[in-house]
Amino acid sequence: MSNPSLTNDTPFVRNYAREVLQFSHGRDVWLYDTAGNRYLDLGAGIAVNALGYGDRRLARAVSRQMKRLVHVSNLYTTPPALELGRRLLDIASPVGREPFTAVHFGNSGSEANEAAIKYARLKAFTEKGPGHHRILAFENAFHGRTMGSLSATPKEAYRKKFEPLLPGFDFIPINDVPALERAITDDVAAIMVEPVQGEGGLEVLNRDTAEALNRIGAERKILVIADEIQTGLGRLGTLFGSTLSGLKPDILTLSKPLAGGLPLSATLVPASVNDQVEVGDHGTTFGGGPATSAAALYILDRILEPGFLNRVQERAQELQEVLERLRGRYDWITELRGTGMLRGLRIDLGDAQERLFPEIIPVARNQGLLILRSGADVIRIAPPLVIDRRDLQRGLGMLDNVFQTINARRNA
């Protein structure tokens, strides 16, 4: 590849990497930088671009709506928002402990979780009185960066410069039922859980823990909030990730792939929560606007097409087989994490870990492959769900080359 269009001259706050690639357009699973190099994207815009890039029908659905109406505020509503809300309730209800009967639309994953936290506290306050506000989340969870969702995100590096965060949040180890049971007290309003920990190392919620959450939720009247922002809408080969472990959440949050790359999130609640909410308890300016809703209706049409999820499962199986082979080839790949189309390779390069682990993603980029990280030592693969067999195999072949480069540097 010649001169990738890397720039470190951006007008952005220094939150993000100093040196970033500048892309001009995309097609299917490929992104093109402004210098004309192409990259196979096994990260899908961090698990957002389920349909890859350049989907003309998505563009048409949004532009048609943009010509009619872009924004009306939540003082009013529009046909796309009504239809999207009803369809989401319909498809998600079989997953919930109770049917979901109402949705709050927001603009990001963090906001979806903020709303979930607020509704959980609101319900506990109304039904049990003040002081029943505690929220439990899991170690290595990621629920967002706003002050509320960050309060449910345990990673010290994300938190420590912003303290004090919200009081009343505690963290428990994942897949440790006795620890979960010990953490339950009368003041717990809700437990937040990701079916797969997308940012924190791709640990998968197991069946025993899901069962314990279902039981504790029912017996102790504690809401279980499933954060399906990364796992929802097909990423794990199922419409919702909760299905895999049998988790029956009371509240479910969605975002990343929901509007095909436009900002939209959804917090789904059952009647027992919605009955407690009064006008003015929560709100947002843009959430559920007609243009993002039109995009989401198109995305749902595609994901719900007969055969779509079967194809995702087939690709996921191929992905698994190749990753297993890679694990056999490199002894420093110590573990396969995740499931479906959200997979991770745990890397332990021993003495060379600190030097070489951070090189994996840039080496891949220089070879025209985009991959992600999750947690401290996991490489994450989250391809567009529409990737075909040929591109998937090609991408994994490129990944093998990347690992050969790392191996050579390790042995040098």
Instruction: Report the site for ligand PMP in 175-204 (rule: CB under 6 A).
Output: 194, 198-199
Between helix 56-68 and helix 290-303 the angle, nearest 10°, is 150
Closer to ligand PMP at the Cβ: 78 or 113? 113
Q: What is the 3-state secondary structure (H, E, C) of 161-174?
A: HHCCCCCCEEEECC
Nearest approach, Cβ of residue 227 and ligand PMP (Å): 5
From 59-67, 214-222, 225-233, 299-307, span contacting ligand PMP (CB under 6 A): 225-233
From 51-59, 142-150, 232-240, 285-293, span contacting ligand PMP (CB under 6 A): 142-150
Is 383 an interacting residue with respect to ligand PMP (CB under 6 A)? no
Nearest approach, Cβ of residue 286 and ligand PMP (Å): 13
Between helix 290-303 and helix 79-92 the angle, nearest 10°, is 40
How many residues of this chain bind ligand PMP (CB under 6 A)? 14
Nearest approach, Cβ of residue 37 and ligand PMP (Å): 26
Nearest approach, Cβ of residue 68 and ligand PMP (Å): 27
Closer to ligand PMP at the Cβ: 33 or 199? 199
Strands 342-347 vs 378-381: parallel, antiparallel or unpaired: antiparallel
Nearest approach, Cβ of residue 154 and ligand PMP (Å): 13
From 16-24, 167-175, 209-217, 222-230, span contacting ligand PMP (CB under 6 A): 222-230
Distance (Å, rounded) from C-alpha 29 to C-alpha 319? 15
The answer to whether 200 and 155 have CB atoms below 8 angstroms apart is yes
Q: What SS3 state is found at 117?
A: helix
CB atoms within 10 A of CB 353: 15
From 109, 217, 288, 344, residue interacting with ligand PMP (rule: CB under 6 A): 109
Q: How far is CA 220 from CA 4, 152, 206, 384, in A?
A: 56, 21, 21, 40
Is 142 an interacting residue with respect to ligand PMP (CB under 6 A)? yes
Distance (Å, rounded) from C-alpha 322 to C-alpha 319? 5
Instruction: Report the site for ligand PMP in 248-287 (rule: CB under 6 A).
Output: 255
The half-sphere exposure of 68 on its side-chain side, counting CA atoms within 13 A, is 12
Is 105 an interacting residue with respect to ligand PMP (CB under 6 A)? no
Nearest approach, Cβ of residue 110 and ligand PMP (Å): 3
Closer to ligand PMP at the Cβ: 37 or 153? 153
Radius of gyration of the chain (CA): 21
Nearest approach, Cβ of residue 198 and ligand PMP (Å): 4
CA triplet 17, 14, 231: central angle to 5 degrees? Answer: 55
- DSSP 8-class letter at 16: S
Q: Which residues bind ligand PMP (CB under 6 A)?
A: 108-110, 113, 142-144, 194, 198-199, 227, 229-230, 255
